[in-house]
Amino acid sequence: MQILLNCLSLTSFYLCFALGLALVFGVMRIINFAHGEFFMIGAYATYLCISTLSPQLGGPVAWAIGAIVAAAVTGLLGLVLHRIMVVPLGDKPLAIFISTLALSYVIQTIVFQIFGPVGLSIAPPMRGVVNFGGAILPASRLVVIGVAAVLAAGLWVFLMRSEAGRRIRAVAQNPRGALLQGIRTEKVGRLTLILGSSIAGICGAAMGPISQISPFMGAGALWKAFIIIIVGGIGNIWGAVAAAAIFGVLDTLMSQFGAGRFLALTSAAVMLFVLSVKPSGLFGEKE
């Protein structure tokens, strides 16, 4: 039971982190290298909100406001990113990749200057632990699981049941066809980037209370998100969900049975194996 809960909690974290990246990648075929930094900014925004508001409003309310602020700030960043980089560089994935990589260093340095290099701790909005049939789970991890579930479900409903979501899917399937149907692809791209970035910000808000926050927290988790996207398959958001679950379970089991040191090797081996057998990923369609 404890193992199951740990699997769920790790899967939720991977899912949170990779979901926004997979959405942006799936629709626009661009990699935002600064995604990890957006996540980090979300965590810092939450930290500021909680440290200023929690005495008056109490932890949970302050955290909720923090999450909203985090989403707003990172969404705005996504908008700016779209305006200054994605639009001018349009169909040059490499140029976008490298310029967002450069952007991630700029953001890291700025945050480093403002808050210092030392990790900060956010007071968890929910204290205590929850018992599930003899297994324990810190309440703040429950928040992450909840956030991941809500985000994934919300995204599904949005994509499948709303007008804007349909447009996004149309562009993801066939940008030119969508354009011919009168869909403004640039607008859709902007919306996608704002959404993906906001998701990163919310995840930062959810993950912040669990681990220390530092200017470099985003970069450390990014490579795993890349592996998840690759294994999940090109342009397939649900593939990323499945891959997050695969790695969540695999990594938890390995840590549980004392093979934690082989984690990176195994993840890379899984990725390389999938690439050898099916270059478009497990659930990807041929490009």
Partner 1 sequence: MSAFRRDLMTVCALGAALVVGGFVGSNYMLGVFVLFGMTSILVLSYRTITTMGGWSFAHIAIMGIGGYSVAILSKPPFDLPVLVAIVAGGLFAALFAALLSYPVLQTRQYYFFLSTFAAGEALRQCFIQFREITGGTSGIAFIERPEILPNPSSTLEFLCLVAAVLVLLGIFYASLDASDAGLKIKAVGEDEALSSSIGIDAWALRALAFILGSFGAGIAGGLFATYNGIVSPSDINAMLMFKVVAACVIGGTTRFSGPILGLLFLTLIEEIFRFVPEFVPMIWGVFVIIAILFGQWARGRLMVWRIKNA
Q: Is the CB of 105 or the CB of 132 nearer to partner 1?
A: 105
Q: Measured between alpha carbons, how far is residue 66 from residues 54, 55, 62 in Å?
A: 10, 14, 6
Give yes or no for residue 83 binding partner 1 (CB under 8 A).
Answer: no
Residue 94, interface with partner 1 (CB under 8 A)? yes
Determine if 223 is a binding residue for partner 1 (CB under 8 A).
yes
Which of 3, 29, 210, 250 forms a contact with partner 1 (CB under 8 A)?
29
Q: Is residue 115 a contact point for partner 1 (CB under 8 A)?
A: no
Q: Which is nearer to partner 1, 207 or 271 (CB)?
A: 271
Closest distance between partner 1 and the C-beta of residue 135, in Å? Answer: 28
3-state secondary structure (DSSP) of residue 129:
strand
For the bound state, the minimum distance from the C-beta of residue 284 to partner 1, rounded and expressed in Å, comes to: 10
Which C-beta is closer to partner 1: that of 97 or that of 238?
A: 97
Pull the structure tokens for residue 281: 């990923």
C-beta closer to partner 1: residue 136 or 264: 264
Amino acid identity, residue 271? M
119 part of the interface to partner 1, by CB under 8 A: no
C-alpha 74/C-alpha 202 separation (Å) is 9
115 vs 158 by CB, closer to partner 1:
115
Closer Cβ to partner 1, 21 or 241, answer by number: 21
Residue 98 sits at φ, ψ, to 5 deg, of -75, -35
Nearer to partner 1, 141 or 224 (CB): 224
230 is a site residue for partner 1 (CB under 8 A) = yes
> DSSP readout, 164-182?
HHHHHHHHHH-HHHHHHTT
Distance of closest approach, residue 93 Cβ to partner 1, in angstroms: 5
Distance CA 156, CA 71 (A): 18
> Residues 193 to 222: which contact partner 1 by CB under 8 A?
219
Nearer to partner 1, 36 or 124 (CB): 36
* DSSP letter assigned to residue 83: I
- Strand 129-132 versus strand 135-138 pairing type: antiparallel
Q: Confirm if 217 and 40 have CB atoms less than 8 A apart.
A: yes
CA-closest candidate to residue 33, choices 229, 240, 231: 229
Residues 153-192 that bind partner 1 (CB under 8 A): none
| Of residues 234-253, those binding partner 1 (CB under 8 A) | 234
Judged by DSSP in three states, 234 sits in coil
Between the CA of residue 152 and those of 147, 148, 164, 197, 249, what are the distances in Å?
8, 6, 17, 14, 18
Under the binding rule (CB under 8 A), the answer on residue 79 touching partner 1 is no
Written as six digits, the tokens of 140 are 């703040």
Contacts to partner 1 by CB under 8 A: 25, 29-31, 84-85, 88-89, 92-95, 97-99, 101-106, 108-110, 112-113, 219, 223-224, 226-227, 229-230, 234, 261-265, 267-268, 271-273, 275-276, 279
